[in-house]
Structures are given as C-alpha cells and as structure tokens.
Structure 1
Amino acid sequence: MSSDLWSFSLGTYAHPGVEDLCLQMQSAGANVCLLLCGLWLEQRGVSCDEQRLQQLLQVAGPWEVNVVRPLRTLRQQWKAAAADDVGLNALREQVKTLELESERHLLLQLERTAQSWPQGETTDRSAWLEGVAAGAANLDRDALHQLRVAVTGT
C-alpha cells in the first residue's frame, strides 16, 4: 500500500472497475477525492470519529465547490463542441489537466489534514467510507461496497 494519498489514489483508480464506480458515484453527488481518502484511512487503520470527518469535509467542501466542480463543468460543457473543433479540444484537454491537478491538490490537503492521526487504531474499516459519502443523497450504498471490494477484495 502506498504511504501517500496521491500514490494510493492512482493505484486504486487503476484497479479494474474502480474508474467506472468512481464516475458513477461522482454523478450521484459523491466527492471522489473524499472516497479515495476514506479508503486510504481505512487501509491505514485510522479511527474515524466525527471531529476528524468534519475536518476532512471542511477541507474538501470549499475546494470541490470553488475549484474542482467549475473546471469539471466547463470540461463537460465543451465535450460535444470539442469533438468537431481541434482548437477547442486542445483547450478542453488543458482544462482536464487543470481539473486533475486540482484534485491532486485536494488530495494533498486531505493527506496533510490527516497526517498526524495515529494508524493501526481500529479494525472497523467501514466507518470512513460511509462517513465521507454521507452527503451524497443520490448515492447507491451498494456502490460503496463494490468500491471497497474492487480495491481490497473484502
């Protein structure tokens, strides 16, 4: 398992089926960076409590709303038009790169927030994923289980 959240996230996203699950959950309102952070904390055995969860949500919420989501929206809005416009497609790819970089920055912020939390404290590994997904009202809870199975096999 990777020690840093960014490497863990890249490795996790590369598992078969994880990309599709993450995009499905993102469409349902989940913050994929928070989901990946939740999995990372679960695997590290970091105990989940309300204070820690709120700290992560306070970091992720404004960044998601003010940085990531506007870039994603712009990229998605340009998709159809960019198919027939080479110049616009090049700009869209630049926006996509910025979107990914904004997610990387968010993951670094989340890791920094959690870096002092003790590892190996808990065996209840489901609390983090459930906690970070709680705000996504349209999320199919079975998708969380599928994500965990795709990554951990359990």
Structure 2
Amino acid sequence: MQTDLWNYCLNLYARPGVEPACLRLQDQGLDVCLLLCAAWLLQRGIACTEARMAQLKDCAEPWQREVVQPLRQLRTQWREAAAHDESLAVMRSQIKALELEAERTLLRRLEEATQQWSPAQSQDNCDWLGKMAAGIDHPDRGALHTLRAAISPA
C-alpha cells in the first residue's frame, strides 16, 4: 500500500523502539527527517545514487539549519524554565507545534523531490539508511538496526 511520506513517518515513528532510535541518531547529528525519508525510499525499493543523496541533502539542510534547528534549540532552552512558568510552558508548547509543522513541511519537500523516482529494476537498491548515516563518525548501529527492523516489507 502506497502512502505519502508524512503518514509513513507517523506510522514508522510510532513503532516500538523507533522514536528513541531516531532521537539517539539525531543526538549524533543526523537529520531525522532525512532518515525517515531514507526508510520510506528503502521500503519502496527506490534505488539510491550519490546524486539522489545529494539532492535530498540539498533540500533538507538549509531548512533544518534555518527553520527546524532554531525552533528546536529555543524549545530545548525553555524546558527547565517552562516547568516553573505556566505562560512560558504554553509558549514552549506553541514552539513545539511550530517545530513539528516545520518538519512536516520538510517531509513534504522531500517527497516532492522524489516524485519522479521509480522503484529499482533489481533488488540491489542500496542501503539508504546506511548511506544517510555515513556522514557521521560511529553512528549508533543499534539505532540503525531498530529502524531497519521497523521498516515493513514493500
């Protein structure tokens, strides 16, 4: 069953172990939206190439840097103070909603960037998750394994 990237991500993220795995990889510097998109592409049998990887990163990096990360940073900075200030807690909740909407927008952009990509003719479509994680030193292999295990067959 074909599903859009946003709904695929919601379903995958809700599976046991996926959220903590994604957060561990995010703490290591990986973009969770790119990882979830990679899982979606892998599940759909889309072949990965260096050009496609670069296209996805070129789409995601500016949005992450200029929109998502500043919202996340502000939300995180307010965590302690919001526990003791109801008004700040409300604003922190609004920032969290904006951060989620920014991630949804990024996922929509990533999906649009991949619309013309057809499934691979062979089963040798490459390890999208491994390629996404290759940009950091010593990615959490357990977290990557959890993501791979959670991806349902096409």
TM-score bracket for the superposition, by shorter chain length: over 0.9
- Are the counterparts in 2 of residues 5 and 37 from structure 1 also a CA contact under 8 Å? yes
The Cα shift of 1:150 comes to: 2.8
For the residue of structure 2 that corresponds to 1:152, the secondary structure is coil
Counting only pairs closer than 5 Å after superposition, residues 3-82 of structure 1 correspond to structure 2 as: 3-82=3-82
Contact 1:31-1:133 at 8 Å conserved across structures: no
CA distance in 1, matches of 2:90, 2:122: 47
In 1, the alpha carbon distance for the partners of 2:142 and 2:121 equals 26
Q: Give 2:146's aligned amino acid.
A: Q
Give the whole-Å Cα distance in 2 for the aligned partners of 1:124 and 1:142: 23
Unaligned runs of 5+ in 1: none
1:103-122 counterparts in 2 under 5 A? Answer: 103-122=103-122
SS of aligned partner of 2:151: helix
Alignment-derived partner of residue 137 in structure 1: 137
- Which residue does the alignment assign to 1:87? 87
- C-alpha deviation, 1:2, in angstroms: 4.4
After superposition, the C-alpha distances for 1:21-67 in whole angstroms (9 at most, x for unaligned) are 11111111110000000000001110000111100010011111111
Unaligned stretches of 5+ in structure 2?
none
Give the 3 Å change call, closer, same or farther, for CA 122–109 of structure 1 in structure 2.
farther
Asked whether the 8 Å contact 1:29–1:138 carries over to 2, the reply is no
- Secondary structure of residue in 2 paired with 1:112: helix
Separation in structure 1 between the aligned mates of residue 37 and residue 122 of structure 2, nearest angstrom: 16
Contact persistence 1:29–1:137 (CA under 8 A) = no
Q: Which letter maps to 1:34?
A: L
Measured on the aligned residues, the alpha-carbon RMSD in Å equals 1.6
Contact 2:42 2:128 in 1 (8 A): yes
TM-score relative to the length of structure 1: 0.93
User: Which whole-Å CA distance do the structure 1 matches of 2:93 and 2:122 have between them?
Assistant: 42
**What is the identity, as a one-letter code, of the residue corresponding to 2:71?**
L
Residue type at the aligned position of 1:81: A
Amino acid at match of 1:42: L
Are the aligned partners of 1:46 and 1:121 in contact in 2 as well (CA < 8 Å)?
Answer: no
CA contact (8 A) 1:43 1:125 kept: no
How many Å separate the matches in 1 of 2:18 and 2:2? Answer: 17
Runs of 4 or more consecutive aligned structure 1 residues displaced over 6 Å after TM superposition: none
Indicate conservation of the 8 Å contact 2:48/2:126, yes or no. no
- Is 2:128 aligned against 1:128? yes
Indicate the percent of aligned positions where both proteins have the same amino acid.
50
Q: CA deviation at 1:126?
A: 4.8
